[in-house]
A = this chain, B = another copy of it.
Amino acid sequence: MAPRPDGVSLQRWLYDELRAAILSGRLPPGARLPSTRDLAARFELSRGTVLGAFAQLDAEGYLAGAVGRGSFVAAELPDRRIDRGDRGEPTSIKKRDGRSSVRESKSKNKSKDDDSGAQRPAVVLSNRGRLLARSAFQLSGRSIPARAFRASQPDLDAFPFELWARIAAKRARRTRRDLLGDGEAQGYRPLREAIAGYVGMSRGIACSADHVVMLGSVQQAIDLAARLLLDPGDAAWIEDPGYVGARFVLEAAGARVIGVPVDPGGLDVEWARRHAPDARLAFVTAGRQAPLGPPLALERRLSLLEWAHERGAVIIEDDYDSEYRFAGNPLAALKSLDDDGHVIYCGTFSKLLFPALRTAYAIVPDRLVEPFVAALSLTARHVPLDQQSVLHEFIADGHFGRHIRRMRVLYGERAEALTAHVTRHLAGLLEVPPIIAGLDAPAFLPRGTDDNEVVRRAALEGIETRALSRYAVDRPAPAGLVLGFASVGVDDIASGVIALARALS
């Protein structure tokens, strides 16, 4: 028998060893086990310890035996062991052996009838599983401070986390029973009411708490909407270039994704209506097109809604960062023009407050609320109640509004700094159009530049950027970079631009 590893109780060790002996066939079906007295004496164990291990083995079906006649290995155990000899150290932890070794077989049935055992079929992903498992934009949890020019990041240092902590602590001390039990799948009602009030004021969206659904992320909203509204093969419009996370989740849901060209008016709705009028869904960043920046022009908004209205299609409006508009008020949402329930509007607190919060929401048309909530409840249950209630207090006490206003000023200064430094140091090399809103800016390289190569060279200078070409769907994207400016101070922006100039020269 193997020596007892540290931290394993005597009873557990004996149980593990006997179980391994049975499973490996060293103690075959029907074999008589040594008496508890003998075992106790041999391994210097108490009789109780041995009885405990026997009881556990008996409860789990390894043993059979009549009182007083000793214990036997159960006779019903299958002859062919599933064990393949590596049970010698039952408590050892096997190393991860090659995480990327899942075979991606397109003809996954090919070895199903091969039962000889010599060539066992590996666990293979399904066809859609391969789409689901693409890991672009996967969260790595890197905690290093933001560097110039990390994209899609709010400034964590500017977040009033002491205030947040005070509310969370107060909330924790007052935990009430009704915040321990199952929450409503749709979300904590007081929070939904606060959000309905906020989007009414800030975005012109007329809705009530009944239309708000709390979610873990905008990704989840897209995933649920796609599965609820599309059958595999149904077409969906997305902006080209556009948000890769949306494209991947739509494709994983079986959508036939149609990349629709983007120009200075945003998504070219007329192109889409001509080329793919039968789409069932459109994904659009109407407030600030990601990654190119323009808001969707008014006549296109109306045309998009008209198309959805004529076709019974649904529009997902992802409004993740147009909150931060540096001149005038945020634009009214596309959703504010949605009179007959074709727009699912999505917002997220992960970008407005801090990413670890993982709380987002959707404003869902009347007729889709019930299916949407049912699907959420079935596939995920709900967002943890605790933080919904902290977030509610943060909004209700006015801290949310204040934080947004402060950040609008701060990010505006950073956008100005970025524009000024790029103009000074990168004229002719990189063109940044006026920054009106958002956390990131597109920056265009001379036509024909390999922007992935620029990203690599910038990385050598300590600069984080993304290539615009990564956002391409059906056609090449303009050569360029996405520069995040919100999470880095003006000094870092200045030195970042100079580093970028080195990379580009």
Q: Give the chain B neighbours of A164 by CB distance below 8 A.
A: 172, 175
Given contacts A97-B367, A125-B371, 19 further A-B contacts (CB under 8 A): A16-B204, A56-B332, A74-B299, A77-B298, A77-B302, A91-B206, A94-B366, A96-B366, A102-B371, A121-B312, A122-B367, A129-B228, A161-B180, A168-B172, A216-B380, A219-B380, A232-B232, A249-B378, A356-B386
A219 surroundings in chain B (CB, below 8 A): 378-381
> Complex Cα distance A377/B85, Å?
36
B-facing mask of A173-217, CB < 8 A → 1, else 0?
A: 101011111111100000000000000110010111011000011
A10 at the interface (CB under 8 A from B): no
Assess whether A310 is interfacial by the CB under 8 Å rule.
yes
Partner of A381, one of B90, B169, B216, B371: B216
Cβ contact within 8 Å between A374 and B132: yes
- 9 closest A-B pairs by beta carbon, nearest first, are A141-B184, A61-B298, A121-B312, A143-B178, A133-B371, A169-B169, A129-B228, A165-B172, A356-B385
CB distance from A234 to the nearest CB of B (A): 7
Question: Does A505 sit at the interface, judged by CB under 8 A?
Answer: no
Assess the A378–B102 pair: CB atoms within 8 A.
Answer: no
On chain B, the residues within 8 Å of A371 by CB distance are: 102, 125, 129, 132-133
Closest Cβ neighbor of A100 among chain B residues? B370
Interface string of A269-300 (1 = CB under 8 A from B): 00000000010100000000000000101110
Q: Which chain B positions have C-beta within 8 A of A374?
A: 132-135, 138
CB distance from A362 to the nearest CB of B (A): 14
Interface of A is mostly: loop
Of the stretches A110-118, A420-428, A464-472, A476-484, the one at the interface is A110-118
A354 contact from B12, B181, B200, Cβ within 8 A: B181
- Interface pair A181/B126, CB less than 8 Å apart: no
User: Is the CB of A340 closer than 8 A to any CB of chain B?
Assistant: yes
On whether the beta carbons of B61 and A297 are closer than 8 Å, the reply is yes
Which residues on B sit within 8 Å (CB–CB) of A263? none
Chain B: which residue is nearest A170 at the CB level?
B169
A328 at interface, CB cutoff 8 A: yes
Q: Are A165 and B173 in contact (CB under 8 A)?
A: yes
Query: How far is B357's CA from A143's CA once the two chains are assembled, in angstroms?
Result: 25
Q: Which residue of B is nearest A90, CB measured?
A: B206
**Which residue, A101, A248, A339, A372, has most C-beta atoms of chain B within 10 A?**
A339
Interface size of A in residues (CB-CB distance below 8 Å): 163
Q: How far is the CB of A311 from chain B (nearest CB, A)?
A: 6
Chain B residues with CB under 8 A of A368 = 102, 123
**Is the beta-carbon distance between B358 and A99 smaller than 8 angstroms?**
no
A residues 136-186 in Cβ contact with B at 8 Å: 137-143, 145, 153, 156-157, 159, 161, 164-166, 168-169, 172-173, 175, 177-185
Cβ-based interface call for A227 (8 A): yes
- What are 16 pairs between A and B in contact, CB < 8 Å? A52-B328, A61-B301, A83-B339, A120-B312, A126-B230, A127-B231, A128-B231, A129-B229, A139-B184, A142-B181, A143-B181, A182-B355, A216-B382, A219-B378, A220-B380, A383-B384
Q: Is A453 an interface residue (CB 8 A)?
A: no
Closest chain B residue, CB of each to CB of A169: B169
Give Cα A145 to B180, complex, Å.
11
What's the Cα separation between A168 and B171 when bound, in Å?
A: 9
- How long is the Cα–Cα vector from A220 to B204 in the complex, in angstroms? 34
Does A223 lie at the interface of the complex (its beta carbon under 8 Å from any beta carbon of B)? Answer: yes
CA distance A351 to B121 in the complex (A): 36
| Docked-complex contact A56 and B329, CB < 8 angstroms | yes
A245 at the interface (CB under 8 A from B): yes
* CB–CB A84/B229 < 8 A: no
A301 and B228 CA atoms in complex are apart in Å by: 36
Q: Shortest beta-carbon distance, A163 to chain B, in Å?
A: 11
Q: Is A124 an interface residue (CB 8 A)?
A: yes
Bound-state Cα–Cα, A497 to B87, Å: 48
Q: Determine the chain B residues whose CB is within 8 A of the CB of A132 once the complex forms.
A: 224, 227-228, 371, 374-375, 378-379
A312 touches B123 (CB 8 A): yes
Question: What is the bound-complex CA distance between A6 and B134, given in angstroms?
Answer: 50
Contacts of A332 in B (CB 8 A): 19, 56, 60
Most chain B CB atoms below 10 A, which of A143, A182, A206, A245 = A182
Rounded to whole Å, the gap between the CB of A435 and the closest CB of chain B is: 15
A373 near B339 (CB under 8 angstroms)?
A: no
